[in-house]
Structure formats: structure tokens, C-alpha cells
Structure 1
């Protein structure tokens, strides 16, 4: 039974991201002293405002940490073949250690073909089948470029001293970007893992067994208090925008800050976990300010790791 006097911990993703960035900055200094500067190339296709904001944030963070970066911005009409030529040129450049293709791509572009064209040693998003295979096989962390969001989740657990080994973990969501890789990483950390999805029968009962519950299904407030084991650690990966006042009141009753923010912006952000469930938990990641804050930090970490791995011959 959980301690009834236990206080719920908020797992501050912003603070943890700051720790990681500081470590990356020190590694960049060491790399420069060794005669090289880690480099990241970002490919942004077309004019998607949300993607542009996100990419600018990545490039800005590179500058803050001393990582060389460059943006490539082909027009939305670019063909798959033209993009493959761009990727081939970046693969061949020694000063580029990481290549990131900002998703989503236009519908006429063969996304899978393009992602697989990035050589595995420069695949800082961890999407290449070879990197996915290394992760699944349990290769040492130092030799794996893992997807950034799942890697960030593991850093939150590790740096917050939340035990994983021997614990029951439930992952809700089976995407290649989050669900599947975080399941593999938790297994590699000796957790007992169940992956649930939209067709899982008895999902609520399974979720209630979790010591660590990862919600990455992309549905606002999907995990309700009835699905949470008291004292569990809740990792909320979702970023969903509410634009209906009734929904805001449903999920954030009597929350003046949320109400005022909604009235000012016309929307508010919520994760995949109903905020009412957090009170039952032993620890949880908030939205915003939780897992989302880690993604760019882990991209920077992966870029430095890729640079070191390439130069060490691993």
C-alpha cells in the first residue's frame, strides 16, 4: 500500500533539460580542445509554422551550446529524389555529425525512404532501422543513438532517482517515435513492460497495475484517475491543444490561471493524462514543462554523442 502521507513530486523537465544542456556544453568545449566541433544539419521542407518555430529553437540551442548548425529549407514542391541528393551530400560531409529531417514532410515525399537514407551514424533522431535494431538488442547506451523523446523520459527517471529495475511499466501508445522505443528502453533497464494501444482489451485494468505509466497515445486526458495505481510514476508525453471552453472547464475546474490563459490565447495545452490523476501519483511530469522540454536537450546530446562515436570509430 502507498504511504497515505506521501507527497506527489512534480518531475521538472525544464530543470532536467538545463542539467543536460550544461553537460553538453562542457562536452562541446572538450571536443573543440580535441580539434573538432560537433555539427548538426536540419532539413526543413516547406512553410509549416509549427515546424519553423521548433526548428528555430533547435538551431538557437545549438548556438547556445557551441554546436555548429545549419538549416536547409527546400521548397514544399521538392521531390523525393532531390531530397535524397541533399541527404547524400550531408552524409558525405565530415563536419556534419548529425542530420535531422523535420517531420512531417509533404505528402508527396517518401518519408520512410528519406529517413533511411541518413547514414545510421548521423541519425540523431534514432529513426534508422539499424539504430532501432541496436536499441532493441540492448546495445550499450554509449553506442546507441536513441529517439530523443524516449531518451529524455529515461533521463527524467534516472535523474529523479525513480527505480525502474523490477518495476511494472505500462506504455500506452505504440508509435515508432515514442511508444515502441520507450518500451525497449524500459525493458533494457529491467522493467517488466506491457504495451497498450487503441485495440487493447481491459486497458484500464492493465494501466492500474503500473508502477510507471507512460502515456503517449495523443488523446487529451485519456488516462483518468481510475486508471492510475496510487503512488505510481506518471510520464505524460502528450501535447494536445484544447480550444473548447467546456473541455477546459472539464479538465481544469476552478483553475483561474488556465481559464485566463485560455481566454487570452483561445487555447490551452493538456497532456494525455487527466490532471485529476496526478494527485494519486507518487510523481508525474507536467504538461507543459515535462517531457517536452527534454526533446531538444536530448537532440543536442545525441549530436555530441554522434560526433564522439564517429571519431572514435565505434
Structure 2
């Protein structure tokens, strides 16, 4: 249902993005993100899985495996977005009402999907480098505190770091995140994307593996690794709720007064907040048939239209135990359970 819901939107997108940027299109990152959250359609060219600009096709052509990393990023972004907002009115669909979608204006949701997509790309590319699945990068070593394979106390700094440096660089290049000469919308899109990139980088942690006789851990091999992407998704959801609205200025003064005036401050705090411009729609038009978590959740999710209760019969394992009372073979009975599920009218 999700795929067919946005099929027409994705076809329209294909005709837009395939044109060269000189045709007046300014927001490359917007169309890339819109393609990520639309049905996956095989496209001609080296980027394979969604329509790309000439610059993006050139990047995919230079490293054949970049397209695969971006495909993985697409799956990460959509899956984790839907998990985070499973029982909210907005569940990561790009549709708002009729032919409208969240990319028509810069809503709180628009800011979130830009940040999440940039984060997913950074994550996937960084991991692909460390795993040797890309041609133009390898293990990252800049964050090590000691030379590779040197011994310091009982630590051996080795293994293969996730290459977050290359992940950031490749994502910024692919989304064309660059200064916009004071244009409000594109500057906000760039800023929100940078927030996602920085959140991923902040999850880089040191991982260690013990070595020694009988697991004594007399020596450790340590390396830098990104946390599970769910950690990034949870942080970005919190930033979604804390996002700040920046109302659009008058058209005449847009290029004279850039939206975000950044005073001098610590670099790590520069991209800590998501910004949006327009108050979000209710999304009530796209909640019909959605499953609610419980009756209280239904009252919000269903926008006052009410809900239907469906009794679902499930057979599941129960009363599991060791066979003959001894380790280690487990046997279970099968029990019948009835569960109430709620769906919006």
C-alpha cells in the first residue's frame, strides 16, 4: 500500500530530477530525499535506484559501489523513520493531502527527513569503507589515539575504523550541500542535512576485542565504530520535537537577509538544532485504516473519526522447558491467544 500510494509522485519526481540543474532547479538535496522516501524504481545510469543529476551520476560512475551504499541508506532511513513514528499521525509518508506532499513547503517533517537521509548516507558509506566494499576509500584512521597496531599499556590500536571522514565528504558531495547565497529554503535544507551528519558522527564509539590465554583479556585490540543506526534515529526524533520554526521573510528581502545568522561559537554546536518554516498539516487525510496502539492513542491518531476493533487469533509457543529436566534441549507447547487490534475509521 505504501509503494502504490506514492507511485505517481515518484514518476513526477523522475521527470524533474533527470533534468540538468541548469534548468532552474536549486534544491538538489530536496529531490534526492524525496526520491529516498518514494517507491524504489530502477533508473537508468550508474546510480541505479533513483533519478540522479549529472553530478550525482558522475560520482556513482567513479565508484560503482556508491550506488549500493546509497540503496542501503535508503532502506535505513525509511525503516527507522517508520519505526520511530509508527503510532503518530505522521508515519513518514510524504503525502499530506491529495496531490500535496511534505516537500511543497518546509515543515518540521521535511526537516527531519532531510536530516535522517543525510545521516543514513553518512552511516552507510562510512561502514562500506570499513568493510572494503568501496573503491575510493578504506578504513578510517584519523581518530586513533595511537599509531595503527602500536601497543600502549594493554591496548593495541588496530582493527578497522568506520571511515566517518569519507562518509561525511561523500554525503555532502552527493547531496550538494553548499552555501546558497542567502536563499532561505536551500540554506535550511543544507543546515538540517548537516544536523543529521553530525548526529551520526557523534555516535562513533571505541570498540575493543580481548585477547589472552583462556579469555584473560591481557591484550585488547581497539577501533572506532559507529553505534547502531537506531541510536541516530532516536536522537533525530528528539531533535524533531525540539525543532525551531523560522518564519519566512518577505520575498524582497530574502537574498539581503539570510535566514540563519550564526554568531561565533563552538563548531560542535553549529549543527545541533533542526529548523523549519511552516506549521505542519494535521495529516488526518492519511490516517484512515492505520493501526492504533491502544484506544487512547486512537483518539489522537484517528482525528476523532473513531476506530474499529479487530480480534486476532494467534498461536504462539508457551510453557517452554528443558527436555527431561536437563540441559540443553528445549521443548515448548503451543497456546492460543486472542489479541485486540485497533484501526482508524
The TM-score normalised by the length of structure 2 is 0.22
- Relative contact order (alpha carbons < 8 A, sep ≥ 6): 1 or 2 greater? 1
Structure showing the higher helix proportion among its residues: 1
Structure showing the higher strand proportion among its residues: 2
Larger radius of gyration: 2
